[in-house]
């Protein structure tokens, strides 16, 4: 992880080095180990360095070639270093150093606009090509590394964080009401838009080519929905998966300092930790030190101490365990102030003490188990026949939080819901679907009832939300479509960016072996029974981890639920009073009384110990997050956007 920024004046004006300096000065937390500026005529590139690999100690960016015609600024890591180096040398490339930046620069020199296809890893980079007078930008296949940009036809700016762009006073701070509506509906569809009108993100798996006369964007990678993997036995599937997974972990262990790793006690993080330990013991990779970090919840059902300790004992790992604590009441406001973006969620912020401890131990690389749920859990629709194993009561509870079921399940918890949602539901006429949604989900044309109807019509919210149902159209089966949504949905992109940004506050690079391109391509080509067999999800992973995990962890069918941190966090921020003077109510974005009713339901059911408090948990958090973002950015001493009139501002301030 590092920080990048750049300027290209499309009208030929010299780039402003002072503006570039201000842009990279806001990124010290992303790159405390050094900085660099490169300015040549209308273009300027900036970089903040975070040393996370042995090779990065020798890296200096921005990096130019011998002629000065090419110059690179890179936030990223190359995971297929050996293969890429061999391919470059076979093409006659002369490598001056062993750094990742040199590999990426030479890849562009050799393959031009096709170079991202050759690079495995997490990356966002820009290369000024003086010969062709173009700025070439690229982002990794999942958008792990951030890339935001703004252009007004005269100037093109890009940066690792939104806040950098506002160092140029010419960049307007105008709320993007369409995207705000998507956040409030908890159904982010766009991979390009941000909360600010005119400020965009480069979509994952895309390149952006900026010429003085035009800006061109193209996708460079996609999965092949027709690809299938067929083996003769479960053992063959597991053996091939383990080979790929080991390589995904191995290349992410490259570090010159202590490597940290999440260890929750769940199947995914435990698998990453165990494979890492096996690689160290085999001598496959150098060991600069490895420790795990765990958050404990003593006395609560979500505490996984027992599972954690079994993995620690099996491998003799140095383990760091910290008891969970309520977040500081100012932390969410501070997140917005630093990033000018949506605040991190409570189930992420709860890791603050763990990450702070890792930071004090000089951890720069931190492995996670993120991604296992997305690629290996399996399709709910494919397994509707499991209905008989579960309670009918789950139908009503789960049907009212559809998006949470789809995004968060590790085990099949409501197959009746599955039968209705994926079996009977598609057969209903659209008019009948709208009636049912209004009755059960509180939706009209897909728009939740807590969103003001006039606001929804003005921004054409129902049309926006309809995109979420077509995002996975490339996949021919229900199983593949469900998994493919993790590649195409704006909600998934939002989540991955949030995780990366959270780690950056601590100067730590998160690395996710399950997000390796090879793992994804293999997982999406698996037969469904290798993801879900009888009562077991992630079947191929469980088979592959025989002998590498304690059996109690490998065979566990439960998954810890940390939902309780959300109502506690909102209570700590003021509870129902949060909505007494809500700016977004005064702006006409949400219905105050419906929101208050939702909050009372959540708070009451949480206090009573009822499971259905989660029905409104995430919608309320999205409402709170938009409120906090808007007040912090637009009403805390900053100039109010032209979109917010003087009358509206007065109404907001008076409540």
Give the tens place of pLDDT for each residue, 624-635.
Answer: 999 999 999 999
Q: Let me know whether 297 and 346 are in one domain.
A: yes
**pLDDT tens for each residue of 225-250:** 888 899 999 999 999 999 999 999 99
* Structural domain includes residue 143: yes
C-alpha torsion sign, points 229, 231, 234, 237 = negative
Q: What pLDDT, on a 0 to 100 scale, did the predictor assign at position 165?
A: 98
Judge whether 310 and 279 are in contact, CB under 8 Å: no
What digits encode the pLDDT tens for the residues 114-155?
999 999 999 999 999 999 999 999 999 999 999 999 999 999
Count: domains in the chain? 4
State residue 643's pLDDT score. 40
List the strands of the sheet with 199-201, edge to edge.
35-40, 43-48, 3-9, 155-159, 148-151, 199-201
Highest mean pLDDT among 236-240, 348-352, 430-434: 236-240
Rounded CA-CA distance 322/153 in Å is 51
Is the model's pLDDT at 476 over the cut of 70?
no
Where a domain ends, among 554, 585, 604? 554
Gap between the Cα atoms of 404 and 543, Å rounded: 28
- Its domain, for residue 455, covers 428-469
Burial of 426: CB neighbours in 10 Å, binned 0-12, 13-18, 19+: exposed
Please check whether residue 22 lies inside any domain of the structure: yes
pLDDT at residue number 435: 52
Beta strand 43-48 pairing with 215-219: unpaired
Tell me the pLDDT of the chain averaged across its residues. Answer: 87
Residue 387 lies in a domain: no
Structure confidence at residue 646 as a pLDDT band (50, 70, 90)? very low
With 50 as the cut, is the pLDDT of residue 404 above it? Answer: no
Q: What is the mean pLDDT of residues 450-458?
A: 95
Q: Tell me: do 246 and 359 sit in the same domain.
A: yes
Q: What are the angstrom distances between the C-alpha of 322 and each of 164, 353, 597?
A: 34, 7, 36
The Cα 178–Cα 490 span in angstroms is 13
Instruction: Mark whether 459 and 606 lie in a shared domain.
Output: no
In this structure, the answer to whether residues 212 and 259 fall within a common structural domain is no
Residue 208: predicted pLDDT: 98
Q: Phi, psi (5° rounding) for residue 521?
A: -65, -35
| Residue that is last in its domain, among 501, 535, 554 | 554
Same domain flag for 96 and 194: yes
Predicted local confidence at residue 642, as pLDDT: 35
Which helix (H) or strand (E) covers residue 409, if one does? none
Same domain, 265 and 354: yes
Looking at the structure, do residues 117 and 150 belong to the same domain, yes or no?
A: yes
At residue 444 the predicted structure's pLDDT band, cuts being 50, 70 and 90, is low
| Residue 470 scores a pLDDT above 70 | no
The whole-number average pLDDT for the span 431-442 is: 53
Q: Are residues 85 and 153 in the same domain?
A: yes
CATH value at residue 202: 3.60.20.10
Predicted confidence at residue 119, as pLDDT, reads 98
Return the pLDDT at 474: 61
Contacts of residue 9, defined as CB under 8 A and 6 or more positions apart, other chains included, come to 15, 42, 43, 154, 155, 156
Alpha-helical segments (H) within 388-477: 394-399, 402-408, 415-418, 430-436, 453-458, 461-466
Q: Are 77 and 191 contained in the same domain?
A: yes
Half-sphere exposure of 72 (CA within 13 A, CB side): 23
Q: Are residues 653 and 533 in the same domain?
A: no
Q: Is residue 414 part of a domain?
A: no
Report, in angstroms and rounded to the nearest whole number, the Rg of the chain calculated over CA atoms: 25
Note whether residue 437 is domain-resident: yes
Domain boundary residue, one of 554, 580, 604: 554
Collapsed DSSP state (helix, strand, coil) of residue 44:
strand
Residues 297 and 356 in one domain: yes
For residue 265, pLDDT over 70 is answered with yes
244 and 352 together in one domain: yes
């Amino acid at each position: 992880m590092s920080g990048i920024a750049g300027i290209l004046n499309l009208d030929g004006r010299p780039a402003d080095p002072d503006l570039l300096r201000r842009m990279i000065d806001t990124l010290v937390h992303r790159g405390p180990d050094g900085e660099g500026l490169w300015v040549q005529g209308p273009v300027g590139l900036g970089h903040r360095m975070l040393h996370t690999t042995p090779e990065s100690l020798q890296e200096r960016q921005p990096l130019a070639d011998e002629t000065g015609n090419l110059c690179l600024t890179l936030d990223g890591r190359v995971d297929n270093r050996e293969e890429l180096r061999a391919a470059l040398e076979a093409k006659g490339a002369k490598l001056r150093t062993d750094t990742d930046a040199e590999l990426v620069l030479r890849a562009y020199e050799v393959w031009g606009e096709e170079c991202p296809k050759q690079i495995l890893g997490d990356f966002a980079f820009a290369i000024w090509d003086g010969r062709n007078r173009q700025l070439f930008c690229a982002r990794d296949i999942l958008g792990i590394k951030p890339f935001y940009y703004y252009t007004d036809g005269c100037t093109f700016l890009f940066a690792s964080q939104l806040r950098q762009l506002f160092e140029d006073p010419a960049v307007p701070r105008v709320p993007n009401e369409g995207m705000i509506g998507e956040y409030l509906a908890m159904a982010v569809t766009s991979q390009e838009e941000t909360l600010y009108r005119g400020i965009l993100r480069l979509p994952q798996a895309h390149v952006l080519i900026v010429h003085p006369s035009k800006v061109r964007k193209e996708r460079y990678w996609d999965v092949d929905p027709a690809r299938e993997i067929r083996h003769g036995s479960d053992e063959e599937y597991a053996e091939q998966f383990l080979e790929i997974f080991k390589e995904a972990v191995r290349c992410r262990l490259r570090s010159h300092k202590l490597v940290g790793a999440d260890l929750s006690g769940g199947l995914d993080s435990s698998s990453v930790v165990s494979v890492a330990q096996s690689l160290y013991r085999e001598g496959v990779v150098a060991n600069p030190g490895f420790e795990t970090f765990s958050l404990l919840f003593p006395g609560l059902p979500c505490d996984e101490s027992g599972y954690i300790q079994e993995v620690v004992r099996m491998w003799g790992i140095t383990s760091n365990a910290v008891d969970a604590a309520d977040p500081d009441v100012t932390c969410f406001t501070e997140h917005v102030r630093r990033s000018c973006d949506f605040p991190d969620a409570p189930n992420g912020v709860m890791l603050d003490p763990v990450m702070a401890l890792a930071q004090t131990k000089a951890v720069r690389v931190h492995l996670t188990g993120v991604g296992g749920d997305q690629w290996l859990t399996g399709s709910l629709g494919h397994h509707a026949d499991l209905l008989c194993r579960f309670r009918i009561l789950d139908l009503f509870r789960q049907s009212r939080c559809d998006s949470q079921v789809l995004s968060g399940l590790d085990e099949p918890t409501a197959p009746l819901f599955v039968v209705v949602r994926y079996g009977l539901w598609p057969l209903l006429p659209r008019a009948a679907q709208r009636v049912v949604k209004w009755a059960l989900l509180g939706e009209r044309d897909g728009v939740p009832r807590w969103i003001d109807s006039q606001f929804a019509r003005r921004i054409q919210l129902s049309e926006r939300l309809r995109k979420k149902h077509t995002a996975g159209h490339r996949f021919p089966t229900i199983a593949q479509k469900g998994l493919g949504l993790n590649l195409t949905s704006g909600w998934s992109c939002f989540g991955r960016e949030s995780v990366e940004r959270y780690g950056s506050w601590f100067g730590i690079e998160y690395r996710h072996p399950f997000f390796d391109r090879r793992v994804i391509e293999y997982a999406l080509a698996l037969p469904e029974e290798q993801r879900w067999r009888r009562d077991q999800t992630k079947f191929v992973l469980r088979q592959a981890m025989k002998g590498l995990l304690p059996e109690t962890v490998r065979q566990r069918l439960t998954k810890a639920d940390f939902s309780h941190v959300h109502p506690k966090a909102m209570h700590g921020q003021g509870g129902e009073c949060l909505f007494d003077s809500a700016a977004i109510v005064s702006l006409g974005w949400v219905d105050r009384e419906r929101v208050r009713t939702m909050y009372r339901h959540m708070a009451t059911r949480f206090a009573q110990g009822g499971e259905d408090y989660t029905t409104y948990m995430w919608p309320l958090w999205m409402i709170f997050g938009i409120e906090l973002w808007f007040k912090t950015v637009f009403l805390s001493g900053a100039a109010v956007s032209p979109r917010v009139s003087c009358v509206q501002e007065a109404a907001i301030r008076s409540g």
